[in-house]
Amino acid sequence: MTFTVRNDGYAAPVNPRDAALVLRDTATSAVHRFPLATDPRTWQAGETTRVRAKFRLPRSLPAGEYALLLDLPDPKLPGRPEYAIRLANEGTWEPGTGLNALLHTVTVT
């Protein structure tokens, strides 16, 4: 999987941040997290960063439709969505979860 992030108008984080791709089952809302090998501190203002990820879906992952989301939590406060990084895109932020919707769905068969 590859996606790009364009940092327009804000400073990169100073403190370390985790990053994860989240698959959320559209039928059951079950969440599956996949850590990303990227450091959001390197996403400099005015630059575009390409994030590449390669991972295997577990055999236990049920078939179905999954929404793709990006999680950028504070590593010291992972259960506090108000401390997660919120992307500036309209209609992508979920204040209750702290997740950023990537507005794509994948089908697992």
Give me 59's structure tokens. 């055999």
Per-residue pLDDT tens listing for the chain (109 residues): 888 988 887 788 888 888 999 999 999 999 999 999 999 999 988 899 999 999 889 999 999 999 999 999 999 998 899 999 998 889 999 999 999 999 999 999 9
Query: Which residues make Cβ contacts (< 8 Å) with residue 94, sequence separation at least 6?
Result: 69, 81, 100, 101
Per the DSSP assignment, residues forming a β-bridge with 31 are 24
Cα(108)–Cα(97) distance, integer angstroms: 23
* Torsion sign over Cα 63, 79, 55, 89: positive
Output the pLDDT for position 12: 83
Q: How many CB atoms lie within 10 A of CB 82?
A: 9
> Residue 80's pLDDT is what?
95
pLDDT of residue 26: 97
Q: For 95, left (φ over 0), alpha (ψ -120 to 50), or beta?
A: alpha
What pLDDT shows up at residue 1? 87
State phi, psi for 83 to the nearest 5 degrees: -105, 0
